[in-house]
Amino acid sequence: MQIPIEYYLILSAFMFSTGIVGVLTRRNAIVVFMCVELMLNSANLTLITYSSYLGDVAGQLFVFFVMAVAAAEAAIGLAIIIAIFRNKLTVNIDQINILKW
Amino acid sequence: MTLELVLFILFGSICAVSAVLMITRPNPVISALFLVLNFASLAGLYLTLNAQFIAVAQVIVYAGAIMVFFLFVLMLLNPEKEERFFKEKTKLRIFIIAIVALILVQIIYMIFLSNPSDSVTAEVSRSVQTGTIENIGREMFTNYILPFEAAGYLLLAATIGAMVMAKKKFE
C-alpha cells in the first residue's frame, strides 16, 4: 500500500463536510436526502480504508450493512416525501414546518 | 508516480469535484446525476483499496438502485426549481461555510495529530485477501449471520412501510 492512509481520510473528511454544507443550505427535501447519502458514503470510505490497511474484514461487512440500511432509509424517506407532496404540493423544507414550535 | 497513486488522484479528484458540484447546482436532477458520478468514482477508489466486492456492490446498489429511485421520485414529483437560498441570506451562507470549514480543518488536524500511518500494517497481500468475495461471504455467514438476518428483516419492514406510507388514501 503505497498511498499514505491520510490521503483517503482527508478525502473522506472533505466529502463529509460537503455533505454538511449541502444539508444546511439546500431547500429541496430530496436534495437534502441525497446530501445525507453523500455523508454516509464518506463514512463508508473511512471504514473501507481502515479495513484494507489493517487487513480486517469487519469494516467491509459494516459497509455492506450500511448499504442495506441506506436502501431502507431511502425507500422510507422518499415515501414520506411523496406523502407530504400529495398534501402540500411542495417539497421545499421551509414551507413544511407544521411541527416547528 | 505509480499506477496506484495515479488512480487515486484521478478518482479522488472526480469524487471531490462532483460532490461540490452536486451541492451547488440549483436543478435537483443535475444534482442527482453528479451524485451518481460521485458514487461511481467512489467504487473506483474502493478498487484501489482492494475491496472488490464492495466496489461492485457500490455500483449496483448505490449508483444503480438507490440513485435510480431518487431520480424516479424527482421526475415523478417534478418540484419547482428551488429559489436560491444564497441570494437573500448571504450572511447565513458565509456563517455556515465558515463553521463547516472550521470543522474540516479540525478533523484534518486530528488526522495528522493521531498519525494513523504508524498503526497500520502495509501488507498488500493481506489486504487483497481481505476483500475477496470468498472471505467476506465466509465471515458474513458464520460470525455475522445474526446482523445479516436482521438486515433482511429491516429491508422487509422498509418495503412494507414504504408501501403503506406512499399509498393513496381511499376513504
Contact A3 B57 (CB under 8 A): no
Distance CA A80, CA A62 (A): 27
Residues of chain B with pLDDT > 70: what percent? 91
- Say whether A68 and B155 touch across the interface (CB within 8 A): yes
Cα→Cα distances B65→A29, A74, B1, B145, Å: 19, 10, 36, 24
Q: Are A64 and B136 in contact (CB < 8 Å)?
A: yes
Which domain range does residue A48 map to? 5-88
The SS3 call for residue A26 is coil
Classify residue A48: in a domain, yes or no: yes
Q: Within a domain: residue A17?
A: yes
- The pLDDT of residue B86 is 53
Q: Could you tell me if residue A97 is inside a domain?
A: no
Q: Which CATH number fits domain B1-82: 3.90.700.10, 1.50.10.100, 1.10.1370.30, 1.20.120.1200?
A: 1.20.120.1200
- Which residues on A lie below 8 Å from B32 (Cβ)? 34
Region label for A55, one of left (φ > 0), alpha (ψ between -120 and 50) or beta (otherwise): left
Nearest CA in chain A to B5: A3
Asked if residue A101 belongs to a domain, the reply is: no
Q: What is the pLDDT of residues B51-66, one digit of tens each?
A: 899 999 999 999 889 9
In a domain, A98, yes or no: no
Give per-residue pLDDT as tens, B115-137: 877 777 767 778 888 888 999 99
In this complex, do A20 and B66 lie within 8 Å of one another by their Cβ atoms? no
Interface contacts (A, B; CB < 8 Å): 228
Gap from B33 CA to chain A (nearest CA, Å): 11
Q: Which residues pair with A92 in a beta bridge?
A: A28
pLDDT of residue B118: 78
In a domain, A65, yes or no: yes
Residues of A whose CB is below 8 A from B53: 60
Model-level pTM? Answer: 0.91
